[in-house]
Amino acid sequence: MSKIKEFFKKFKALAIVYPTVIMFLICLVITAALSGTNAITNKRIEKLNAKKEKAAQSRLISADEYKSETIEYEGVRYEYSQAIKDGETQGYIFKIDEKGYGGTITAMVAVNTDGSIKALEMIDVSNETPGLGQNTAEKGFTDQFKDKSGELTAVKNGTATGDTQIDAVASATISSRAAVKAVNKATTLANEIIKETDTTADSASADKE
C-alpha cells in the first residue's frame, strides 16, 4: 500500500487524486453495505409497520376491508381509511399527528358514519413524559371519548361534566389537550366526508329521477 502512496506522491498534480479515490472507495463500500442491509431489513420493517397499523385498525372498527383514501381540508392533505363490512361503510379511521408536550403525538381515531366517536387509540406517545403524558395511551383516558360528538375540550382531572368535556390525565394537561385536539380534527374531517358523501348520494339519486 505504501508503494502506491509513494507513486502518487511523485506526481504533485496527482496528490489530490489519491485522497479523492480513497474517499470515493469508502463511500462506495459503505453505500453497498447499506443497501445490502436495507434489502434484508426493509421487508421486515414494512411488514411490522403494516401489521401494527392493521391490528390497530381492527381493534378500532372490525371490518372486512380498510380502504385508503385522502381528503384535503384547509390546504392540508390527510390520509384516512374507510372501514367497510358487507359492502357497507362502518366508519372512518384517521391517523392524526398533533403537537404534544415533548414532540409529536399520533392518535388513531375511529368515527362512526353519524359523526360520533367510536374509539380512540394513541399509537405513538413516545415523546411524552413517561408516567404522565404517556398515560394518555391508557384505557382510562381514551375510553372517555366513546360515543361523544362535537367539539370536545379537556378539563382538569376529575372535573369533567357534560357531554363535551374530557378529564385530562393528572398533571399532563398539555398531552391530554393534544389528544383532544387530534380527536376534534378527526371529527371535523369525518363530518366533511359525511357531508360530501351525502351530497354525492343526493345528486346520484337526483340523477336517477
Partner 1 sequence: MKTTTMIVSIILAGLLTNNMVLSKFLGICPFLGVSKKVNTAFSMSIAVTLVMIIATAVTYPIFYFLLRPDFEYLETVVFILVIAAIVQFIEIFLKKYIKPIYNALGIYLPLITTNCAVLGITMLNVTDFDVNAYSFGKLYLFSLTNALSAGLGFMLAMVLFAGIRQRLETADVPEFMKGLPITLVAAALCSLSFLGFAGIGG
Partner 2 sequence: MKQSKWNVFTNGLLRENPTLRLVLGTCPTLAVTTAAKNGVGMGIAATIVLVCSNAVISLLRNVIPEKVRIPAFITIIAGFVSVVQMLVKAFLPTIDTALGIYLPLIVVNCIILARAEMFASKNSFVPSVLDGLGMGIGFTAVLTLMGAIREFLGAGTLFSLPITAKVIDPMIIFLLPPGGFFVFGMLVAASNAIAKRRGKPIVEKMGCENCPAKDSCENAGNGCDEAKEAE
Binding residues for partner 1 (CB under 8 A): 27, 30-31, 34-35, 37-38, 42, 74-79, 97, 99, 101-104, 173-174, 177-178
Judged by CB under 8 A, the chain residues 64 through 123 that form the site for partner 2 are none
Residue 173 touches which of partner 2, partner 1, none (Cβ within 5-8 Å per kind): partner 1
Measured from the CB atom, the residue of 50 and 201 that comes closer to partner 2 is 50
Dist CA 209 CA 203 (whole Å) = 10
CB of 160 to partner 2, least distance (A): 23
Residue 99 touches which of partner 1, partner 2, none (Cβ within 5-8 Å per kind): partner 1
3-class SS letters over 160-186: CCCCCEEECCCCCHHHHHHHHHHHHHH
Measured from the CB atom, the residue of 101 and 141 that comes closer to partner 1 is 101
Residue 18 touches which of partner 1, partner 2, none (Cβ within 5-8 Å per kind): partner 2
* Residue 130 makes contact with partner 2 by CB under 8 A: yes
Dist CA 193 CA 158 (whole Å) = 34
CB of 143 to partner 1, least distance (A): 24
Q: Is the dihedral of CA 141, 48, 100, 95 positive or negative?
A: negative
Measured from the CB atom, the residue of 1 and 40 that comes closer to partner 1 is 40
Is residue 93 a contact partner of residue 110, using CB atoms and an 8 Å limit? Answer: yes
Nine-digit cell string for 148: 361523544
The set of residues, in sequence order, having a beta carbon less than 8 Å from that of 83 and lying 6+ positions away, is 57, 60, 61, 63, 65, 66, 89, 90, 91, 92, 93, 110
* Residue 27 makes contact with partner 2 by CB under 8 A: yes
The site map against partner 2 for 33-52 (x = CB under 8 A) is: xx--xx-xx--xx--x----
Q: How many CB atoms lie within 10 A of CB 149?
A: 17
